[in-house]
Amino acid sequence: MANRKIIEIDRDNCDGCGICTEACAEGALVLDEENKAVLAKEIYCDGMGACLDVCPTGALKIVERESDQYDPKETFEHVLMTKGKEAAAHVHGYQTEVPPVACGCPGSMAQEIKKAAPTLEGKAISGNSELSQWPIQLHLVSPLAPYFKESDLLIAADCTAFTLGSFHRDLLKGKKLIIACPKLDDTSPYIEKIAEILKNNTIFSLTVATMVVPCCSGLNHIVEKAVEMSGTNIHVKKIVIGIDGEIQS
């Protein structure tokens, strides 16, 4: 056993709606005899937190504690037996020849994105960068950086700028930027750092841009916890971008 990130359920806050059991691609969450969410097995939980945003009562959170490591092979077999081949195709971290699996994590699935031929009619084309500060990676920015004073802030998942062709024009223009990856980064200092940015600066607006893939939802959770820690009442605007490059919400 080793310390790792894993889901923790507050039984008192769980209302038994079962939404989290559907959101978890790994089938780690089930309802027990008291109609409360529990971990079926700890080895089925990958600690990515795709279930966090769907819980209506806030009964789920990610903690770091001693646990058996996530086992993608056992998890795949579990989902294959309980939910079938199509659901098993979305198990994080396990590759198999069973169709239609292209790879383990749905956020990494290989897909060809077909686009219609572009039209320039009525549209202005600009290659100008709207980036107005450096650095931008969350590990590197300072909460006391002067450029955060009296600013509009955009916190964007790394992949968003590569997916949304109009990222600079439609999302970044007029804002200060922070980028982060909730899946690949060491996110342990992120909540506290964002909270410090919010406490030490006058932030007029806060926008979070994520991809539609489940692992990206962790960034919303990080920002929400940071807002709570900061003691501010700032509204968080959430934007979700599809892998086809379209803004979904």
CATH number at residue 186: 3.40.1360
How far from 17 is each of 31, 34, 41, CA to CA, in Å? 9, 12, 20
Domain shared by 12 and 83, yes or no: yes
Residue 113, in any domain of the structure: no
Residue 38, in any domain of the structure: yes
Task: Answer whether 138's CB lies under 8 Å from 178's CB.
Answer: yes
For 45-49, 92-96, 153-157, 167-171, which range has the lowest pLDDT when averaged over its residues? 92-96
Structure tokens at 128: 């100008």
Separation between Cα atoms, residue 26 and residue 79, nearest integer Å = 6
Tens-place pLDDT, residues 101-143: 444 555 555 444 455 665 555 555 556 889 999 889 998 888 8
Residue that the structure tokens 């038994």 belong to: 16
Tens-place pLDDT, residues 62-109: 899 999 999 989 999 999 988 888 888 888 777 654 444 444 555 555
Domain shared by 160 and 83, yes or no: no
pLDDT, residue 52, reads: 81
pLDDT, residue 90, reads: 80
Residue 47, in any domain of the structure: yes
Residue that the structure tokens 């969350």 belong to: 138
User: Residue 52 belongs to what domain range?
Assistant: 2-106
The sign of the CA dihedral 223, 228, 229, 235 is positive
Domain shared by 159 and 98, yes or no: no
Domain shared by 72 and 159, yes or no: no
Domain shared by 100 and 161, yes or no: no
Structure tokens at 242: 């599809």
- What is residue 247's DSSP assignment? B
Separation between Cα atoms, residue 103 and residue 238, nearest integer Å = 28
pTM: 0.59
pLDDT, residue 186, reads: 82
Domain shared by 150 and 99, yes or no: no
Domain shared by 96 and 191, yes or no: no
Query: Number of folded domains in the chain?
Result: 2
**CATH number for the domain including 69?**
3.30.70.20
Cα 79-81-85 angle, rounded to 5 deg? 65
How far from 26 is each of 76, 142, 164, 181, CA to CA, in Å? 7, 37, 29, 21
